[in-house]
Every structure is written in structure tokens, then in C-alpha cells.
Amino acid sequence: MEKTMLDYIKETPECLDRIIDRSYEHTKDLVDFYLKNDCDGIVLIASGSSYNGCLSVRHFIRHILGIDVALYTPFSFLHHELPFIGNGLFLGVSQSGCSTNTLEALKALKEKGRPVACLTGRDDCDARQIADLNVNWQVGEEKVGFVTKGVSSLACFLMCFTLELGKALGSVSENKYIHAKEQLKKTQQIQPLMLRKTEEVFERNKELFLSPKRVILLSSGPGFGVASEGALKIAETSCIDAFAYEAEEFLHGPIYPSSEDDLFIIIDNSDASSSSRMIDIALALQDISPRVFVLSNDERFPEEKRFSLPETTCQYTSVLYKLTCVQTLSYLMTMHSNRFEPRECVKTFKRANKVASKSREGLYLDLQKIE
């Protein structure tokens, strides 16, 4: 029997533990590449779930290294940002290594004579023919195209790269390095608890999750990457409109189409600044819809609609288990509704393949029944 999204979610802790335990070995080539090219920042170029994985970890990199970290989608980078590039580490990110937009951005950088690295989830990929350095981020097998283990392992790999680079630059002390690695390991002890809690809250409120008009995910900072990935996963699997907004910005216009049929998921960073305001917003949204849930330990919010945990880590590393919540919700909502099958018009669009997004076919299982 073929594996499901849920199987890969359950495999995530073992995968991430391997990356954490062997972080020096797995990231050494990328660290050396950064040092060799005398980079003064990092430019991440990615799309889809890879973009969201980078978005989830961007604040960690800046917090640990104190350097600029830019993040662009490949199309915008190629057509609108390329003339303004500086001297950062240009790092394309694609799990398949065959995303056409990322490949085009890498080619353009090469034509400008810039050193280019690429992070991929597989060794056999087209990015290897373009990049000066191709590094496998050690996700292993993931045949379901609605990637879960891939997003989490990418974020973890980038965190490990950050710590190893910090040590090499002399900006991360041995004590700070050890503490951060311990926090990363702890996230994967928490991950199964997050999975079980998500299933529990879903089962308790199943009817509220199964028929929303829209899904709105709200957060900020590190949590916004989790919200963005949740919106993408829910939209592409259950085929329900799903959007991610910065929590406060949602109040400045996007709130007006809201109705009692909307499902709201608020992802709390559990930090000293934004946390209280986000829970205030979540509590107020109950005036609009009964479908309001929070990923938080804040006891002001009703327990039956709260994805809470007995243990947590800091806002920067917690994204590694918070991703599990939105990934699991996406899977459960889809299996109890359309079971991954999109509308016929979307099938027609996909079959026509007029604007291919991958340079190879057959990379993932056809859960959407396109053929």
C-alpha cells in the first residue's frame, strides 16, 4: 500500500533527528561555499511549500546570525529583483530539484557570473546541472506531492546550517550551539504530541472543520510561515479557499467578506510581544464565527478549540512542530471531504500542461486523479 500524507508526517521526527545529529556533516559543503564566496547575507529563492519552509525559518536565521535574509519567489526574483542583487549566498530551494521557475532563476544568476547553490530533496534532479553546488537536505523518500516531511526537514536543515555557519564565523558560542541543538531535538519529542492533539481537536469539532466556506489562517513573525503553509496545504488538498494573513492586517480590510461559515485558525508565537494581541483577535472573531481555533497554550481561549501542548520551545524553533498541526488538519479535512480530487475544470487545466511547473513528469503520486 502506498504511503499517505499522514504516514510522512509520522516519519518526520526520525528524519529531523537524523539531520540534527549529523548537522555538521550534512551542511559542511554549504557552509564552506558561503565562506569561500565571502557572502554577506543569504538570498533564498523558492516557491510553494519550499517558500513556506524558508519563511518559517527566516526569523531563526536572522536571530542567530544577525545577517540579512531575503526571500523571493523565483518569478519575481527573475523579472523584478535580479538587477538589484548584492553579495549574498544565492540559494535556490526545490524539493524536487525540477521546479521550472527555480531553474530559470538559477540560470539567470549563472549568466551574471554569480556563484549559485541549490538545496534539493533528491540527488537525481535538473538543478544539479545548473548550480555550482547542489546539496540534498536529507528528507529521504516522499512520494506524495503535497509535501509535509519535506517542508519540516527543509526548515530543520536551514536551522542546522545556521548554527554550523555561526560556529564557523565565530558568532555562535559552543554553549549557544549546544542549547540550540537541544531545543531542536526537543521539537521532535513534542511533534507526536502535536499530531495527537490535532487529531483530538479535529474529532471533537469535526462538523466545524468539514464544511467551511473559507479557511483563514492568522499569525505573524515565525508563525506566519506556518500559516502560509497551512493555507497552501488546505487549498491544494481539500480545494477550499484558504488564505494566510498577518493577524493585525486582517482587521484592516480582509475581514469584511467574513461570515459564520469561515474557519479561522490563529497561530500564536507564544512570545512576549505579539502573543497577547493575537489571542485578543481570536477571542473577538468568535463574534463572527463559531469556527475559531487557536494553536496556543493561552488559557483565555476555550480548551475544546485550542491546540495546546504540555511542553513548548521558543518561538523560533516551535515552527518545526507547529507545521505538524496545519499539515495534519489539511490531511484530515481532505480525507473527510473531497479526498484530494479537484473540480473537473482544474483537471482539464492540469492535463493540458500549457504552463508546466516541473521539468520532469511522474515525480509524485497522482492523488488528484488527473490522468
pLDDT tens by residue, 294-343: 999 999 999 999 999 999 999 999 999 999 999 999 999 999 998 888 88
Both 102 and 214 in one domain: the answer is no
Residue 343 lies in a domain: no
CATH number for the domain harbouring residue 243: 3.40.50.10490
With cut-offs at 50, 70 and 90, classify the pLDDT of residue 365. Answer: low
Report the predicted TM-score, pTM, of the whole model to 2 decimal places: 0.95
Assess whether 217 and 266 both reside in one domain.
yes
The total domain count for the chain is 2
Q: What is the pLDDT of residues 251-293, one digit of tens each?
A: 999 999 999 999 999 999 989 999 999 999 999 999 999 999 9
With respect to residue 136, please indicate whether it lies within any of the assigned structural domains: yes
Last residue of a domain, one of 172, 199, 226: 172
**Same domain (yes/no): 243, 315:** yes
Q: Is 279 inside any structural domain?
A: yes
Contacts of 76-81 with C-beta under 8 Å, sequence gap 24+, read: 77/45, 77/105, 78/104, 78/105, 78/108
Task: Mark whether 208 and 167 lie in a shared domain.
Answer: no
Mean pLDDT of 156-172: 98
**Are 15 and 154 members of one domain?**
yes
Note whether 124 and 72 are same-domain residues.
Answer: yes
Q: Mean per-residue pLDDT for 144-170?
A: 97
Over the stretch 193-212, which tens digit does the pLDDT of each residue have? Answer: 999 999 999 999 999 999 89
Is the pLDDT at 82 greater than 80? The verdict is yes
User: In this structure, are 165 and 260 located in the same domain?
Assistant: no
101 plus 211 within the same structural domain: no
Rounded to an integer, what is the distance from CA 347 to the centroid of its chain? 26
- Do 297 and 161 lie in one domain? The reply is no
Question: Is 68 among the domain residues?
Answer: yes
Range of the domain at 212: 189-335
* 356 within a domain of the structure (yes/no): no
CB atoms within 10 A of CB 342: 17
- In this structure, the answer to whether residues 100 and 237 fall within a common structural domain is no
Q: What percent of the chain has pLDDT over 90?
A: 87
Residue 354 resides in a domain: no
Mean model confidence pLDDT for the chain: 95
